[in-house]
A = this chain, B = another copy of it.
């Protein structure tokens, strides 16, 4: 009734290496049932967890904090508010991170614009080394100052 998968299958399905799946289990991010002989059997729920872990990881949540979240989950329904709060705080951090990247993007654009300008000047000059432009504010001296 309930589908189960070997670690190999789980790895193929989730695109997470077997090594990493075992590692996550050691770190307390997963708890996987075993066969009589000790082999891991992943359920669909487990795969859902793996996917969720990957989501948190890709959005910069460190493994220990993911483990903390997982522990709360195991502690039952009375931790739901705490878990939601964690996710909401994580959401805020992610928003801030994205905003930060946008400011970096702006700085990068400024830099790229500068390079385009320099290039256009070069097209006008034809010559490679411009000796008498030392009074210009665009001289080589400050080429890389941000």
A residues engaging B (CB < 8 A)? 44-45, 47-49, 51-52, 55, 58-59, 73, 76-78, 80-81, 83-84, 87-88, 90-91, 94-95, 97-98, 100-102, 104-105, 107-109, 111-112, 115-116, 118-119, 122, 128-129, 141-146
Contacts and interface: CB of A to CB of B under 8 A. Distances in A.
Contact of A48 (B47, B59, B144): B144
11 contacts: A47-B145, A49-B144, A59-B108, A78-B128, A80-B115, A80-B118, A81-B119, A84-B115, A84-B116, A87-B111, A91-B112
Contacts of A58: 100, 104
B84 A146 contact: no
Contacts of A87: 108, 111-112, 115
